[in-house]
Amino acid sequence: MATNGLRPILELRNISKRFGAVQALTRVDLTVHAGEVLGLVGDNGAGKSTVIKTISGIHPADTGEIVFDGRPVSIHSPQDAAALGISTVYQDLALCDNLDVVANLYLGREAVGADAAGPLAVLDEVAMERRAITVLRDLAVRIPSVRIPVASLSGGQRQSVAVARSVMWNSKVVLLDEPTAALGVAQTRQVLDLIVRLKGQGLGVIVISHNLADVFEVCDRVAVLYLGRSVATFDLSQTTREQIVGAITGIGAGAVEGPDAAAGVAPQT
């Protein structure tokens, strides 16, 4: 995908992170544009989850720079990330099975009536339900009702509710950690379609996935990590699966960006 005309919404520059004696990330570079889906791939232990947790403020970077919407920012907590407009959907989804869809979408951000205040404030259930329906409709998420318990939903519907919650609060970047893991064919289709709709709304989307078929279907570019380092960025319109697998496994690992990625992986300097 040519990124001409698209602006970088999030950039990681020379990000490093250490946990005790373990160097988890070493000078990682990553860029995602508004209206782009970027795949983040690598073998187990490559550093994918650490990158996501660094962006989301769970594990702040030791060194390096994060640039968001054109300006350097400091992300030291999930609250910092949320304030910028960065939302993360982890594999466990963090949904409350016993609550309905509306309650899950508003969890911790419940709306109260205009005349209510203090500990006895009454929730504005009507306003919350209306907005929940609007958000789900805009994302073309199909569920039987916004008032059924989340436990009653399919895997794909649950994933869709978690994604909808992540974009309800003016998000600009959405991080998805293995969004199709353990889903069936129809449920996977539902989630992949949702990712494309997020892109269509102008969000920057980063997708961690081990499923290269899914990556090729919805991602514009893919960044490869190997042993905690950025080794390649591929434009998927000019790249084969074999080239990506080679970078993931460390065969000819190096760093390359743009159209040259289709020709192979250049050594890092």
d(CA 112, CA 102) in angstroms, rounded, equals 14
Q: What is the model's pLDDT at position 259?
A: 37
Q: What is the model's pLDDT at position 258?
A: 40
* Tokens found for residue 159: 């994933």
Fold annotation for 8-95+171-263: Rossmann fold (3.40.50)
Q: CA neighbours within 13 Å on the CB side: how many for 246?
A: 19
Q: What is the model's pLDDT at position 67?
A: 98
Number of H helices and E strands in the chain, helices first, is 8, 10
Q: What is the model's pLDDT at position 117?
A: 57
Domain ranges of the chain: 8-95+171-263
pLDDT 10s digit of each residue in the chain, 269 long?
A: 546 567 899 999 999 999 999 999 999 999 999 999 999 999 999 999 999 999 999 999 999 999 999 999 999 999 999 999 999 999 889 999 999 999 999 988 887 766 555 565 678 889 999 999 999 999 999 999 999 999 999 999 999 999 999 888 889 999 999 999 988 999 999 999 999 999 999 999 999 999 999 999 999 999 999 999 999 999 999 999 999 999 999 885 444 444 334 333 333 32
d(CA 72, CA 120) in angstroms, rounded, equals 41
Q: What is the pTM of this model?
A: 0.86
Question: 3-state DSSP call for residue 129?
Answer: helix
Q: What is the model's pLDDT at position 267?
A: 31
* Tokens found for residue 120: 């006895």
Q: What is the model's pLDDT at position 5?
A: 61
Q: CA neighbours within 13 Å on the CB side: how many for 194?
A: 30
Query: Tokens 């970027």 identify what position?
Result: 38
Q: What is the model's pLDDT at position 129?
A: 94
C-alpha dihedral over 174, 175, 181, 184, to 10 degrees?
10
* Tokens found for residue 184: 């069936």
Kindly list the strands in the beta sheet with 221-226, ordered across the sheet, starting from the edge strand earlier in the chain.
86-89, 173-177, 204-208, 36-41, 221-226, 229-235
* Tokens found for residue 227: 């042993």
What value does the CA radius of gyration of the chain take, rounded to a whole number of Å? 19
- Of 3, 4, 2, 45, the closest CA to residue 25 belongs to 45
Query: Tokens 């961690």 identify what position?
Result: 208
